[in-house]
């Protein structure tokens, strides 16, 4: 199924509003999800909406809360998410980080007791759009065994950095080989196999079988290095913020308990170091240096972080967003359950 982004966003908003989510909050969540689909990061796109719906229906998150500042000292802020919708908490956190970053030159905000906030890139870009380098990290449900272990203790714990300027550089990475959503996407699409290096079975042995991986573990990125980065994110988010850690976390696929994730937002005011135009020129110079490398055999050009997604966005804005059969079936079922009209602006993918 292929659907235009505005129709998909409108449908997502309608679903959320039918569950009692306020209009502005529904728009924010829908926008964050569809923005990921546009960038071809489908693992953090609309396929997450049915899980959010389940959480709301089971009362596992509070759709009426927005969170509050628990403490503020200089450039350091602790934010209590109060189990509000993750995107709502993240939006408030970005606002506060930008405010303090401009005032102090740098802001480190840590939020606790929050929920899944979609793709970290959506929030890092909010800070970079305001002229600050934005860094975002998050801890997540334990789906990953620590290096040399076979029981889950860490999450995919993403790390994202976005620099100011028109689409210059945007790194958004999980600390696993792939995000958990990639595995779920393969399962939705009924793929029997996945690439080597994505996952392990329940004994910690690498596997390429999708079903086995679904009952197993995600693979840390680069072995012990990915495991270390995941723990770093856990420290900056959960330990520093006084939030839930490791096995204390719930998850969007677990009912009966709040998710309790923590997130970290670092905002750095470029203007405190040099004029913004100088920073932009230096970034352009660095990127040109990187891209001047001769491409390796089998590749046409050297790409920097963010380029593949921005190119995908241009195409999907024009041609529409492809939705997997499993995700589309889930969305239709929710729509039918609440008596909502299915978008007409969609067509079967070719």
Number of helical H runs and strand E runs in the chain: 12, 13
| Residue the block writes with tokens 């380098």 | 133
Contact 48, 8 (CB under 8 A): no
CA distance 32 to 281: 30
Round to whole Å and give the CA distance between 255 and 50: 13
In this prediction, residue 349 carries a pLDDT of 47
Cβ atoms within 10 Å, residue 257: 12
Portions of the chain given CATH number 1.10.1530.10: 2-57+320-347
Quote the pLDDT of residue 350: 39
Do the beta carbons of residue 280 and residue 11 sit within 8 Å? no
pLDDT at 132 over 50: yes
Percent of the chain with pLDDT over 70: 98
Instruction: Give the whole-angstrom CA distance, residue 122 versus residue 162.
Output: 10
Residues 6+ apart with CB under 8 A from 66: 82, 84, 88, 89, 92
pLDDT at 181: 75
For the ranges 75-84, 149-158, 180-189, the lowest mean pLDDT is seen at 180-189
**Mean pLDDT throughout 167-193?**
86
Task: Look at 48-57, 121-130, 321-330 and tell me which has the smallest mean pLDDT.
Answer: 321-330
> 347 vs 209, which has greater pLDDT?
209
Radius of gyration, CA atoms only, the chain: 20
Average of per-residue pLDDT values in the chain: 94
For residue 313, pLDDT over 80 is answered with yes
Q: Tell me, what's the pLDDT at 345?
A: 65
pLDDT of residue 166: 82
Cβ of 216: how many Cβ atoms within 10 Å? Answer: 23
In 3D space, the residue among 133, 123, 95, 100 whose CA is nearest the CA of residue 270 turns out to be 133
User: How far, in Å, CA of 155 to CA of 229, rounded?
Assistant: 11
The CATH architecture that domain 2-57+320-347 belongs to is: Orthogonal Bundle (1.10)
Residue 96: pLDDT band with limits 50, 70, 90 = very high
Which residues are paired to 170 by β-bridges?
Answer: 162
Torsion of CA 201, 202, 204, 209, to 10 degrees: 0
> Over the range 46-75, which residues count as b (16 or more CB within 10 Å of their CB) and which as e?
bbbbbebbbbbeeebbbbebebeebeeeeb
Give residue 347's pLDDT. Answer: 59
Residue (of 110, 164, 98) closest to 137 by Cα position: 110
pLDDT tens per residue, range 267-279:
999 999 999 999 9
Q: 3-class SS at 346?
A: strand
Q: What is the mean pLDDT of residues 303-324?
A: 95
Which CATH number applies to 68-176+220-272?
Answer: 3.30.1370.60
The pLDDT of residue 25 is above 70: yes
Q: If we measure between CA atoms, which residue out of 264, 265, 245, 255 comes closest to residue 142?
A: 245
CA 293 – CA 290 distance, rounded (Å): 6
Which of 2-16, 137-151, 174-188, 225-239 is predicted least confidently? 174-188
Convert the pLDDT of each residue in 152-165 to its tens digit: 999 999 999 999 98
User: Nearest-5° angle of CA 89, CA 328, CA 118?
Assistant: 20
Residue 58 has pLDDT above 60, yes or no: yes
Q: Is the dihedral of CA 200, 205, 206, 209 positive or negative?
A: negative
- Please report which confidence band the pLDDT of residue 14 belongs to, taking 50, 70 and 90 as the band edges: very high
The boundaries of every CATH 3.30.1370.60 domain in the chain are 68-176+220-272
- What token pair was written down for 328? 């589309």
């Amino acid at each position: 199924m292929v659907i235009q982004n505005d129709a998909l966003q409108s449908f997502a908003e309608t679903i959320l509003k039918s569950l009692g989510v306020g209009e502005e909050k529904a728009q924010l969540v829908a926008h964050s999800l569809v923005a990921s689909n546009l960038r071809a990061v489908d693992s953090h796109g609309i396929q997450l909406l049915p899980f959010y719906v389940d959480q709301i229906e089971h009362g596992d998150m509070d759709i009426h809360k927005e969170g509050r500042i628990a403490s503020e000292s200089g450039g350091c802020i602790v934010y209590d998410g109060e189990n509000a919708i993750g995107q709502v908490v993240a939006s408030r956190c970005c606002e506060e980080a930008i405010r303090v970053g401009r005032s102090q030159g740098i802001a480190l905000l840590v939020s606790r007791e929050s929920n899944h906030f979609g793709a970290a890139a959506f929030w890092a870009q909010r800070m970079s759009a305001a002229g600050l380098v934005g860094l975002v990290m998050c801890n997540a449900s334990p789906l990953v065994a620590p290096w040399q272990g076979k029981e889950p203790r860490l999450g995919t714990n993403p790390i994202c950095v976005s620099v100011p300027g028109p689409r210059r550089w945007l790194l958004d990475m999980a600390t696993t080989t792939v995000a958990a959503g990639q595995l779920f996407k393969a399962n939705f699409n009924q793929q029997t196999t996945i690439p080597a290096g994505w996952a392990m079975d329940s004994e910690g042995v690498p596997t390429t079988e999708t079903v086995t991986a679904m009952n197993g573990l995600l693979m840390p990125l680069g072995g012990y290095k990915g495991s270390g980065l995941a723990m770093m994110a856990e420290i900056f988010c959960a330990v520093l913020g006084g939030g839930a850690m490791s096995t204390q976390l719930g998850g969007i696929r677990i009912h009966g308990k709040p998710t309790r994730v923590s997130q970290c937002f670092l905002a750095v005011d470029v203007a405190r170091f040099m004029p913004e135009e100088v920073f932009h020129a230096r970034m352009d110079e660095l990127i040109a240096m990187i891209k001047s490398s001769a491409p390796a055999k089998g590749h046409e050009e050297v790409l920097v972080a963010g380029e593949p997604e921005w190119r995908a966005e241009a195409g999907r804005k024009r041609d529409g967003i492809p939705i997997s059969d499993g995700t589309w079936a889930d969305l239709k079922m929710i729509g039918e359950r609440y008596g909502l009209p299915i978008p007409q602006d969609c067509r079967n993918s070719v």
